[in-house]
Amino acid sequence: MPSRYKAPEVPDSQVTPTFVRDELLKCFESANAEFAAVLRQPVADDQLKRQVKTFVEEVFSQCGVSYVSPTKEGVVAAISECRRNAEQAMGTRGAEIIDHHYSEMMKLVDRL
């Protein structure tokens, strides 16, 4: 099983919307690696990183929020949309993975 994402313990001064957006990429990479393991679908790390970055950028765009200059509200909207997409894609097989990653991201959002 791939290593599981955990929100980093950093000083509050480092927790900015841009920091949280970048952590969302790491979190989503971790979640997708876990999904791939559950589905027994191997995926290369570099391929996964590219796919996740493209997907997350698209989610920000679909939510009508800036990926380049994110706000707390924009990050929250993108995280919620990522969660909805993951729930639709994985259903009950991914529920525990999704819940874990969502709660880790919200630890950071709550500090914004």
Range of the domain at 51: 12-109
Answer whether residue 40 is part of any domain. yes
Answer whether residue 2 is part of any domain. no
Can you list the positions of beta strands (E) in 22-104? Answer: none
* Residue 7: per-residue pLDDT: 96
Answer whether residue 26 is part of any domain. yes
**Whole-prediction pTM value?**
0.89
Query: What's the whole-number average pLDDT of the chain?
Result: 92
For the chain, what is the domain count? 1
Per-residue pLDDT tens digits for 7-41 = 999 999 999 999 999 999 999 999 988 988 888 88
Structure tokens at 33: 């690696």
* Residue 2: per-residue pLDDT: 56
* Residue 18: per-residue pLDDT: 97
Answer whether residue 6 is part of any domain. no
- DSSP letter, residue 110: T
Given a cut of 70, is residue 1 above it in pLDDT? no
Q: What is the C-alpha separation between 76 and 47, in angstroms, rounded?
A: 26
Q: Which of 5, 21, 3 is nearest to 101 (CA)?
A: 5
Answer whether residue 55 is part of any domain. yes
